[in-house]
Amino acid sequence: MSQPHSGSIPADNSPVRNRRGEILAGRYELLELIGRGGSGSVFRARDPRLGRQVAVKIAYPCDPKQRARLIREARIGAQLQHPNLMQVLDHGIESACIYIVMPYIMGPTLRARLNAGPLPWQTAGIFVHQLLTALAVLHNAGVAHRDVKSDNCLLSHDPTGDRLILADFGLARIVRDSLTDLPPHQTSQVLASIGYMAPERIDSQGDARSDVYSAGVVLFEALTRRLPFRGAPDEVLWQHGHELPVSVSSLADVPHAFDELIATALAKNPRDRFQTVGEFDAELLRSIRPGQLEVVPTAGVERVTRALHAWEQCDVTGALVEAREAEVCDRRWRCLRELIEVVREVERAATVSE
């Protein structure tokens, strides 16, 4: 890693530039580029003042509307506190960029988790229950998220299992003035991910029932590893408005109750859907009976991530410490600990022979 230097972000404000090693706002040391898009980048960073790792989103708004979206995203995350909502720790403006500081979540997105295959229906139900809980907090505060998708659902490990965290409030719309000092929503442009977008969003800004629809798409995706409607963007938009999705029970081994549940959530007319995320959640919980199931967690995943990172930095001792902690969380990680121990013994033998 190159040595960090203090000072402002340079004039080159390319959103995809890797600013690894720089100090942002005289405080946040950018350690690793972990994501990027057309308007900015996300870094794993270190906050030496509080001695913790954070995620820093750096964006370069090209117009006032985009700038307002970013500020609104930061302030919504700062004012609404809930375990299933991404928290905003700090934000500011430096040179040409707006930055947002958030907790560093070491787990994957729900979309990345699905790369390994669809989830067991109980696990999918628990995750979507947590998503609906997060949306209820937003809706109660008068905020419609309007970009609910599996890429915006992060999975963080708790001692009791995985926890879903809903992130990215950049497209959120204030439907009731209950939060303070938020820039108004200034555009009706369709910006949400088309695969998750409620039909009414084509012609209007939508409301909380649009989030119900998108959450239904996420449930469908979690159960089947595919979206209900696929094809070119114009084809997907037409299907959202005119076609019924195939039943999930025909694609996955799930109870038939999920067919009716998703059909109601994905009703074309908002009046025919669950009218609140609370209604959706109540029916979902009746379907999965959470008291009678054990959700399969990715126990120890944060420790494993730290172990692998230490190993990449040739810190075998640090990697072994983290791997042992991971094994305490879940015995399935014992193989990683054993592998690292073998590597350490080989290194010791090589040192003795020298």
Task: Tell me the C-alpha distance between 128 and 148, whole Å.
Answer: 11
Active site residue 203: no
Half-sphere exposure of 311 (CA within 13 A, CB side): 19
Copy the structure tokens of residue 143: 């905020």
Copy the structure tokens of residue 292: 């009678």
Provide the 8-state DSSP code for 87. P
Q: Which among 63, 147, 162, 181 is annotated as catalytic? A: 147
Sheet bearing 90-94, strands edge to edge:
23-24, 28-36, 40-47, 52-59, 97-103, 90-94
Q: What number of residues does the chain have?
A: 354
**Could you give the 3-state DSSP secondary structure of residue 150?**
helix
162 CB contacts (<8 Å, ≥6 apart)? 107, 127, 155, 156, 295, 297, 298
Task: Tell me the C-alpha distance between 30 and 27, whole Å.
Answer: 10
**Could you give the 3-state DSSP secondary structure of residue 325?**
helix
124 CB contacts (<8 Å, ≥6 apart)? 118, 219, 222, 223
Residue 339 exposed, middle or buried by CB count within 10 Å (0-12, 13-18, 19+): middle
What residues act catalytically? 147
